[in-house]
Amino acid sequence: MVFPRDRIVTPDSALPIRVVVIDDHRIVAEALVTLLNTSERIEVVASVSDSAQIVDSIITTQPDIVVCDLEMPGSDPLDRAALGMSQSPGTKLLVLTAYPTDAHIARAIEMGVRGFMTKHEPAEAVVDGIYAISAGHSIYSDEVKSRMVMPEGKHAEIKLLSLTPRELSVVRLVAQGMTTSQIADQINRSPKTIDNQISSALAKTNSANRVELSRWAIREGLVVA
């Protein structure tokens, strides 16, 4: 199903991040589409459950990011996504799967994916992963990073790669000015857990305090100032 292509202008006049969701599990896909469409600066322009429709959907919509599952009936979804993206040069790929095998990870990295996340992550982590990829970074779940060699790159990107998806979610909320208690309520975690994740993020980004961490997040495009 292809949604209207008209771009929605957000209050800050920035164009939305246009996303195609590829997943044949309808409950998962519908929940993800709803989540993304209610997130700031994200617009789902197509939701694809049939691998035969992947190429046409990407070519037609020219999305910024494709969120792609790896297990679908019919043609290989990653191959189909890559074929569509060959005619949509600005599109980046985020793999979202329940089964991150070594073979899948190696193949995806060889294809140049910008993110590889598991469905074990909280929903908000997928949203934050899309923001990170849109800002020019890469994001990988802990389970994925434990199996891969960290890519070479700029210092800032290596810092971001070292953050887990949950830490990334917390950093974005810190940068929005939320207190520990507010963040805990927002993502249903204990204040102690949030403090631990903030401390870890401070260490990984070499930030002395929350102010520096917020500046880093803004500078790297994770939040809008």
Question: Structural domains in the chain?
Answer: 1-151 (3.40.50.2300), 153-225 (1.10.10.10)
- Mutual angle of helices 191-204 and 165-175, in 10-degree steps: 90
Residue-wise pLDDT tens for the chain (225 aa)? 333 333 333 334 368 999 999 999 989 899 999 999 998 889 999 999 999 999 999 999 999 999 999 888 888 999 999 999 999 999 999 999 988 887 788 788 888 899 999 988 888 889 999 999 998 888 888 888 776 655 454 444 556 667 888 888 899 899 999 999 999 998 888 999 999 999 999 998 889 999 999 998 887 777 766
Structure tokens at 32: 């993800």
Annotate 155-197 with DSSP letters as a single string.
Answer: HHHHHHHHS-HHHHHHHHHHHTT--HHHHHHHHT--HHHHHHH
| pTM to 2 decimal places | 0.69
d(CA 156, CA 13): 27
CB atoms near residue 34 (< 10 Å): 12
d(CA 31, CA 50): 17
